[in-house]
Amino acid sequence: MPTATNQDFAQATAPLLPELHQRALRLTRNHHDAEDLVQETMVNAFRGYRGYTAGTNLRAWLYRIELNTFISEYRKDRRRPAQQLTPDFPDNEVTAAGQRGGPGWRSAEDDALDRLPDGELRAAFQALPEQFRTAVYYADVAGYAFKEIAELTGVPLGTVMSRLHRGRAKLRSLMMTEANRSDELRAA
């Protein structure tokens, strides 16, 4: 029995990709989730392609892999506890989040956090628009990865990255303004 190659797999499965995507769209009801499902399906199919018997129904084989992948992801998501952003969070969470970085690698946010009293930090954080506050909270306080934040908030990965960048920049600006104001008051 000859071994399957990458080219064999690509040639056999490429015509079925639009059908897989349509089916994934029906299962997930979300364009981005459907794309992720098709990608996971193709990875799983490629891993198991050596076990595929040539001449059998490739479409049915791929559909089964897609359905099993969807069910596995669904079950994994159901086991994950529901998480919600709270308006207030304990100060020890802010401190713990600041200590996650390696020694000697301090960001501007960490330096600003050290200089500001807790009330001012909380006020600056609350001044952020909700979408930025959520992204910053999940990334910097709760410690989630970009992909996890995208899943939690239901937005695309690129949007999460953009919101996080813009939210951190806005928070940095608010904190530096407050720190400068505090320095001026102490000097007066």
Sort 21 into a burial class: Cβ within 10 Å, 0-12 / 13-18 / 19+: middle
pLDDT tens digits, 4-29? 567 888 999 999 999 999 999 999 99
Residue type, 13: T
Least confident of 33-37, 41-45, 97-101: 97-101
Token pair belonging to 135: 């992204």
pLDDT tens digits, 137-181? 888 877 888 898 998 888 898 899 999 999 999 988 888 887 677
How many angstroms separate the CA atoms of 85 and 83, rounded? 7
* 133, 126 contact by CB (below 8 A): yes
* 21, 34 contact by CB (below 8 A): yes
What are the helix (H) ranges across 49-187? 58-79, 91-98, 108-115, 118-127, 130-136, 146-153, 157-187
- Fold exhibited by the domain 91-187: Arc Repressor Mutant, subunit A (1.10.10)
pTM: 0.44
Please list, in sequence order, all residues whose beta carbon lies within 8 angstroms of the beta carbon of residue 143, skipping any fewer than 6 positions away. Answer: 97, 100
Note the maximum CA span of the chain: 86
* 1, 18 contact by CB (below 8 A): no
- What's residue 19's pLDDT? 95
- What mean pLDDT value characterizes the chain? 80
> For the chain, what percent of residues have pLDDT higher than 90?
32
Q: What's the distance, Cα to Cα, between the start and end of the chain in Å?
A: 86
Residue 2: pLDDT band (50, 70, 90) is very low
* 167, 132 contact by CB (below 8 A): yes
Residue type, 91: D
Within a 13 Å sphere around the CA of 59, how many CA atoms are in the beta-carbon half?
Answer: 6
Residue ranges of the chain assigned to CATH 1.10.1740.10 = 6-79
pLDDT tens digits, 90-111? 555 555 555 555 445 555 555 5
How many angstroms separate the CA atoms of 61 and 79, rounded? 27
Residue ranges of the chain assigned to CATH 1.10.10.10 = 91-187
CATH code, 6-79 = 1.10.1740.10
Q: How far is CA 145 from CA 46, 65, 89, in A?
A: 27, 27, 19
Average pLDDT of the segment spanning 36-62: 91
- What's residue 46's pLDDT? 92
